[in-house]
Amino acid sequence: MPDFWKDWSDAAALGLEAQGVIAMRLLKIAAGGPAADAECRLMVTEKFAAASAALAEAALALAGGKSIHDAATLALVPVRRRVQANHQRLMQG
């Protein structure tokens, strides 16, 4: 049985971390130059990669007989991993 409060707090944490990544990216883009261009390109390409990975995780879960809740939880794993990696990378410089 899904735990509503855990799911809600996990989603809120992911949302807050994603907002932090967006803020750091905007600062980098606003500074301009080659780093801004590279960040814009990375932003777009990683969206496709994360969406593709999320879709694959969800499809495999559903094909394996898992519930829609489990499929959604598994689909968020690659998204969460990418957000955390971006947060770490952008915090370093």
Tokens found for residue 9: 């707090």
Work out the pLDDT band at 93, boundaries 50, 70, 90.
Answer: confident
- Residue 12's pLDDT is 95
- Express each pLDDT in 52-71 by its tens digit: 999 999 999 999 999 999 99
Please count the other Cβ atoms lying within 10 Å of the Cβ belonging to residue 10. Answer: 14
For 35-68, letters b (16+ CB in 10 Å) and e give eeeebeeeeeeeeeebeebbeebbeebbeeeeee
- Express each pLDDT in 2-41 by its tens digit: 688 988 999 999 999 999 999 999 999 999 999 999 999 9
Chain-centre distance for alpha carbon 45: 13
- Of the chain, the percentage scoring pLDDT greater than 90 comes to 90
Tokens found for residue 72: 């959604």
CA 52, CA 74: separation in Å to the nearest integer?
13
